[in-house]
Amino acid sequence: MKFQPPKGTRDFLPEEMVKREFVINTIKNVFVRYGFDPLETPVFENFEVLAVKGGLGEDVRKQVFYFEDKAEREMGLRPELTIGMARVIAANPQLPKPFKRYCIAPVWRYEEITAGRKREFYQCDIDVAGSESMEADAECIACAVECFKSLGFKEFKIKINNRKILEGFLELIKKEVEPEAIVEFSSVEVFRAIDKMSKIGLEGVKEELKKIGFKGSQIDELLKIASIKGSFEYVMKKGREVLKGIKIAEDGLDELEEVFKFSEVYEISDYFELDFGLARGLDYYTGPIFEIAVETKRSIGSIAGGGRYDNLIGLLGGRPVPATGISLGIERIIEIMKDEGMFNLPKTKVKAFVANVNEKVKDETAKIAQELRKNGISCQTDLMGRNLTKQLELADNLGIPYAIIVGEKELKEGKFKLKNMKEKSEKDFSLKEIIDMIQK
C-alpha cells in the first residue's frame, strides 16, 4: 500500500526547502527592519471566532477545515492569519499601540487547487493595530514592496481601492436608477461578487449580482463604474466627479489621497494603480484595500493583498482598535521565481563532506567534523560504511561544494586534501586553512 500526502498538500524535499527558506528568511529580514515583531497563534481556533459576523465572510467560512474535538467543541483550522492576531489584540488591550506584528505560518482552506495555491499554504503577514493614520497602510505596502525588491522582483503593480468608495457606488446606483428597480441588498454580498471578476469573468459577475437581487440597470451602472482604473491621478479625478456629494465615498477618496501622499515619501507611488473594481473578498475590510501583482510570463494572480479593518478587533470582544495589514503569498512567489529563473541557490546548506579513506580513521574523521561545526561550518560524514569513491559520489549528488579527505597519511602530516566538487580540483591544506577558506 502506497501512502500519499492529503490532496492539496505537499512534501518539500531538501532542495525545495532551500528555496522556501531563502524566500521566507528574506521576507522575515525585511519585516524586522520595518519594526515588526513576531507573533504566533494556534493553528486552529474556536469556530465561533472564524464564523463571527463581519469577519472572514461566507466564502472563506465555507472553506474552513471544520472539526469537533473530543469534548464536541467546534473548531476550525485557521484559513488566514489576521483573525487570530485580532483575537489576541482584543484579549490583551494593555498591549502598547501601535502594535506591529509579523507572522509567517501555514494556513488551510478547502478550495479548488490551482497554480500557486494548494489547500495548505503559507502566508507572510504584517499588521499595524492602533493607528488611524493612513501612513500605517502606506508603510505596510512599502514593506511588501521592499520584500519583493529584496527577492529580485523589478516590475510590479500596486492596485488600490477603498471599501468606502464601493459603498458610495451602491448609494449612487440607488440615486440614479428607476425607483422600481431598487432592491435591498447586503453591500458585502456585492463586494464578494465583484471580487470574483478575475475568476468567473464579467458575465459570471452579472449572474452573481442577479442572484443577490440586482436588476439589469443596476448591474450595468455598477460595472460601468467598477471598470474605471488607471493612473492614480486620472482615476482619482474621475472618482471626484462621479461620486461628488456622496460623503462615504468622498471620505474613501480622501483616505486614498492620504495613502498616496505617504507613498511618495516611501518612494513607491510610481507603482500605484487606482482600480475601482478591486473589492477583495473578506468581509472585515473597512477602508483602503490593496493588491500587488508582478509582470511575469505566466498569469498567476496577485502575490500580496491586504487592507484596513477597523472593526474586526471590536467584533472579537475587544475595544474598537483601528488596524491595517498585508499578506504575502509564499506559494505564488516561489512559483513565479521558478518560472522566471530567479533562484541561484545551492541544492543543500551543507558546506563540506568529511570523507574517510578507511575505517581506521573514522574516529578522527568525526573529530574533524566536530571541529568544523564548532567553527560554524555545516558538514556531513559517512554513516553508511561506504568506500571513499562512494562517499565522494554521495557528496557530489547532494551538491555539497567541498569534500575533505582524511587518511592515515593526512593525519600524520596534518595536511588534508580539500576537493572542490564543482571544479573537480583538489589541494592540500591544514585544517585551520580549510576552515578559513570555507568560512569566506
pLDDT tens series, the chain, 440 aa: 789 999 999 999 999 999 999 999 999 999 999 999 999 999 999 999 999 988 888 888 899 999 999 999 999 999 999 999 999 999 999 999 999 999 999 999 998 887 667 999 999 999 999 999 999 999 999 999 999 999 999 888 999 999 999 999 888 877 655 555 555 666 777 777 777 777 787 788 888 888 877 777 778 878 888 888 999 999 999 999 999 999 999 999 999 999 999 999 999 999 999 999 899 988 899 999 999 998 877 767 789 999 999 999 999 998 999 999 999 999 999 999 999 999 999 999 999 999 999 999 999 999 999 999 999 999 999 999 999 999 999 999 999 999 999 999 999 999 999 999 999 999 999 999 999 999 98
Task: Count other C-beta atoms under 10 Å from residue 11's C-beta.
Answer: 8
For 177-288, where are the alpha helices, taking DSSP H only?
187-195, 197-212, 216-226, 232-242, 247-265
Q: Is the dihedral of CA 386, 392, 397, 398 positive or negative?
A: positive
CATH, range 14-339: 3.30.930.10
By CB atoms closer than 10 A (0-12, 13-18, 19+), residue 133 is middle
What is the pTM (predicted TM-score) of this model?
0.91
What pLDDT score does 115 carry?
66
What pLDDT score does 193 carry?
79
The rounded distance, in Å, linking the Cα atoms of 389 and 366 is: 18
What pLDDT score does 150 carry?
97
What pLDDT score does 184 carry?
61
What pLDDT score does 203 carry?
80
The rounded distance, in Å, linking the Cα atoms of 222 and 38 is: 41
For domain 352-439, give the CATH superfamily. Answer: Anticodon-binding domain (3.40.50.800)
What pLDDT score does 437 carry?
94
User: H helices then E strands: how many in the chain?
Assistant: 17, 17
Instruction: Tell me the domain boundaries of the chain.
Output: 14-339, 352-439
By CB atoms closer than 10 A (0-12, 13-18, 19+), residue 228 is middle
- Alpha-carbon separation of residue 83 from 42, 52, 122, 133, 140 (angstroms): 11, 10, 15, 21, 17
What pLDDT score does 404 carry?
98
